[in-house]
Amino acid sequence: MTMQDFANTTAVITGGASGIGLGLAHRLGREGARVVIADIEEDALDKAVAGLEAAGVDTLGVRTNVGKQADITGLADAVEERFGAVHFLHNNAGVCTTGLAEEQTDAQWDWVLDVNLRSVIWGCREFLPRMKAHGEPAHILNTASMAGMSGGPLMAAYFTTKFAVVGLSESLWHEAQAEESNVGISVLCPGFVRTGIARSDRNQPDGLGGWVAAGSQSGAQFGELLSAGVDAGIEPSEVADVIVEAVAAGKLWIFTHPGFDAAILNRARRIVDGEVPDAREMTR
């Protein structure tokens, strides 16, 4: 069963107060959805709710730390209390750190693993049974990245979580197919999008010391490159347009930058040919 349109549906977006999540919230609102945005950043959340309401969207903002399982359960309960059945969940909140893998502390690793990966596991485990129980067409979209399609240096925690989100989503897709489920599954793999992702440390728990590993010169340089890439990226509204079309088409993998097709193909070819990765693949 494919979710064909968003009119009269309830859509939940984590990390919905800015960037890709907020772009999708506005697009889904225009499609006629009731929109719930869940975010840790209170000021941004209030502003985003006000903006959506001003645009005529029936909106609920729920302050949520997706790195805490209890918050995700609280989110699901709050949404059901206000709007009833949930039809669309976008596990979108994400953060990143830079530096050599061994320079990143346990606390930095845990932060990225919790926000980017465990939150997705918890989100699926909390919402999927509720979506199956109501039986109407529904969909879960998990955000990975092109960093979930091809590895690279200096963001090991980020790559680790994004590869894992791709694997988790593929598992869920196979399970849904086998069950002929009413809940479709997709995984979003964007290239650079102009958002606040390179300022992730604005949402760090106290004491983590920023998004660049302490004293990491290569991490600091890479952080600057990453910020420049993000600033030159496509707009969140363009990602939202791709998502709406891809969900209706029932696509599992959703890509926003067709230019990376060659990188995916070359990586697969290098794997089966027994070659080593091409370090320039994702930066061409």
Ligand X SMILES: NC(=O)c1ccc[n+]([C@@H]2O[C@H](COP(=O)([O-])OP(=O)(O)OC[C@H]3O[C@@H](n4cnc5c(N)ncnc54)[C@H](O)[C@@H]3O)[C@@H](O)[C@H]2O)c1
Answer for which of 13, 33, 86, 94 binds ligand X (CB under 6 A) is 94
Residue 157: how many other CB atoms lie within 10 Å: 23
Residue 70: how many other CB atoms lie within 10 Å: 9
Which region, judged by CB under 6 A, interacts with ligand X, from 59-67, 120-128, 178-186, 271-279?
59-67
- H helix runs in 67-155, sequence order: 69-83, 106-112, 119-134
Q: Which is nearer to ligand X, 132 or 204 (CB)?
A: 204
Binding mask 164-203 for ligand X (x = CB under 6 A): --------------------------x-xx-xxx-----x
Instruction: Give the three-state DSSP class for 47.
Output: helix
Does 86 sit near ligand X (CB under 6 A)? no
158 is a catalytic site residue: yes
Instruction: Give the three-state DSSP class for 243.
Output: helix
Q: Which residues contact 102 (CB under 8 A, 6 or more apart)?
A: none
Does 24 sit near ligand X (CB under 6 A)? no
Number of residues that bind ligand X (CB under 6 A): 31
In angstroms, how far is the first alpha carbon of the chain from the final one? 38
Q: Which of 122, 158, 159, 211 is catalytic?
A: 158
Q: Which is nearer to ligand X, 39 or 103 (CB)?
A: 39
Least separation in angstroms between CB 6 and ligand X: 19
Cβ-contact 186, 253 below 8 angstroms:
yes
Separation between Cα atoms, residue 188 and residue 56, nearest integer Å = 27
Answer for which of 9, 10, 59, 65 binds ligand X (CB under 6 A) is 65
Which region, judged by CB under 6 A, interacts with ligand X, from 2-10, 16-24, 99-107, 240-248?
16-24
Answer for which of 41, 170, 201, 241 binds ligand X (CB under 6 A) is 41
Separation between Cα atoms, residue 161 and residue 193, nearest integer Å = 18
Does 40 sit near ligand X (CB under 6 A)? yes
Separation between Cα atoms, residue 240 and residue 235, nearest integer Å = 9
Does 223 sit near ligand X (CB under 6 A)? no
Side-chain-side CA neighbours of residue 120 (13 Å): 29
Type and span of the H or E element at 143: strand 138-143
Structure tokens at 175: 């399970």
Does 145 sit near ligand X (CB under 6 A)? yes
Q: Which is nearer to ligand X, 42 or 136 (CB)?
A: 42
- Binding residues (CB under 6 A) for ligand X: these are 14-15, 17-21, 39-41, 44, 64-67, 92-95, 115, 143, 145, 190, 192-193, 195-197, 203, 230, 233
- The catalytic residues are 158
